[in-house]
């Protein structure tokens, strides 16, 4: 049994919220400012077909037919926030290279503000992930990046940009992909400052930093990340309950939201837990679904939503993006349309 007196399987899909209430929350995203801090990545897709094996090695030869650039990491999170109708300010680090220029063009095309927050460090490579896709199946990924922590001088300049952005922030989102921007030193300054200012925060975590997110408002690990942090694999409902409540206590967090793929997501607070069954009608590709969840949570918190409302909306938004191949986003209009199945009174 959970601390709220119910088993996990008895938890409800939503806390009695109506379509009208949730629709109003989505409309409330407009004009709200979300500061997105984290690792900025450029995703490059090469689409083509493979009909032969290379004479040079036992590998497929892919005839590339088109190239597509997409935002990844914290850049994709910021794109998600913007697509939902809120106003993201992206804070992070890129190199001085062609990938950085491409990233800036893609951000500008999606109306994501990066002028004041994205710092150029010539000593680093911009994170670039190239995926080769043949017949709608990914056959190879090649990564080009710098993974070490940013230099102390870069961190100081980055912090100055964070402080400027916080002056107008309604919520802060930390997107940690383990590429060196989100470090214990940054978190030790950021999280107490957010608490002092009363700004809600959401974190998409990386395992090696998990217990550096102390005092965060809500953290959104997937079940593998939660298992790693808890030190035991989450297999059964009792394992989930123990890990969810235990991690919340260890982090002194207001809430832990464990995303569980096809099984939905489970929210743990001091008041108990709530389970949200998946809203996905078709799962084609889960790439970027975690970005969508944390972006929706942050946008909802920025608009003054409760955690329960934020989780219902995030669940619906995730159901939209997993039905598409590759990194995708859910728009505010799509999110409202997906709420039509809910009761309206």
Q: How far apart are CA 127 and CA 138, in angstroms?
A: 19
Considering the candidates 39, 43, 176, 291, report the single residue annotated as catalytic: 291
User: Rounded to the nearest 10 degrees, how much is the dihedral formed by the CA atoms of 138, 142, 145, 146?
Assistant: 110
Write out the two tokens for 338. Answer: 């997906």
CA angle 317/171/341 to nearest 5° reads 25
Q: Any idea what DSSP says for residue 124?
A: S
**Could you identify the residue written with the tokens 């005092």?**
215
Q: Write down the number of H helices and E strands in the chain.
A: 10, 13
Would you list the DSSP string of 255-270? EEEEE-GGG-EEEEET
Dihedral sign from CA coordinates of 254, 186, 184, 173: positive
Residue 291 catalytic? yes
E strand or H helix that includes residue 76: helix 73-84
User: Rounded to the nearest 10 degrees, how much is the dihedral formed by the CA atoms of 136, 133, 73, 184?
Assistant: 120
CB 63 within 8 A of CB 96: no
Write out the two tokens for 245. Answer: 């409540």
185: left (phi over 0), alpha (psi -120 to 50) or beta: alpha
What count of Cα atoms within 13 Å lies in the side-chain half-sphere of residue 38? 28
CB 252 within 8 A of CB 290: no
Which residues does the annotation mark as catalytic? 291
């Amino acid at each position: 049994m959970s601390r709220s007196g119910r088993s996990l399987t008895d938890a409800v899909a939503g806390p009695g919220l109506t379509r009208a209430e949730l629709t109003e929350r989505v409309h409330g995203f407009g004009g709200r400012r979300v500061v997105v801090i984290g690792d900025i990545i450029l995703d490059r897709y090469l689409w083509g077909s493979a009909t032969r094996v290379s004479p040079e090695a036992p590998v497929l030869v892919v005839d590339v037919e088109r190239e597509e650039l997409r935002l990844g990491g914290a850049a994709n999170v910021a794109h998600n926030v913007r697509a939902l109708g809120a106003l993201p300010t992206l804070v992070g680090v890129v190199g001085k290279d062609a990938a950085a220029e491409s990233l800036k063009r893609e951000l500008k095309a999606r109306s994501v503000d990066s002028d004041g927050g994205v710092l150029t460090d010539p000593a680093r490579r911009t994170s670039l992930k190239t995926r080769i896709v043949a017949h709608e199946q990914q056959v190879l990924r090649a990564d080009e990046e710098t993974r070490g922590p940013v230099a102390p001088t870069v961190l100081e300049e980055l912090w100055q940009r964070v402080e400027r952005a916080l002056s107008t922030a309604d919520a802060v989102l930390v997107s940690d992909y383990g590429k060196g921007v989100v470090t214990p030193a940054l978190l030790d300054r950021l999280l107490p400052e957010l608490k002092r200012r009363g700004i809600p925060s959401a974190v998409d975590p990386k395992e090696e930093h998990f217990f550096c997110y102390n005092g965060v408002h809500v953290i959104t690990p997937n079940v593998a990340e939660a298992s790693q942090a808890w030190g035991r694999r989450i297999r059964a409902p009792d394992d989930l309950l123990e890990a969810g409540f235990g991690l919340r206590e260890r982090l002194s967090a207001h809430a832990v939201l464990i995303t569980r793929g096809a099984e939905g997501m489970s929210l743990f607070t001091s008041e108990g837990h709530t389970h949200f069954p998946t809203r996905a009608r078709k799962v084609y590709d889960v790439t970027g679904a975690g970005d969508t969840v944390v972006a929706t949570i942050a946008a909802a918190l920025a608009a003054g939503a409760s955690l329960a409302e934020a989780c219902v909306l995030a669940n619906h938004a995730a159901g939209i993006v997993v039905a598409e191949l590759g990194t995708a986003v859910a728009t505010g209009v799509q999110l409202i349309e997906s709420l039509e199945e809910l009761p309206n009174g």
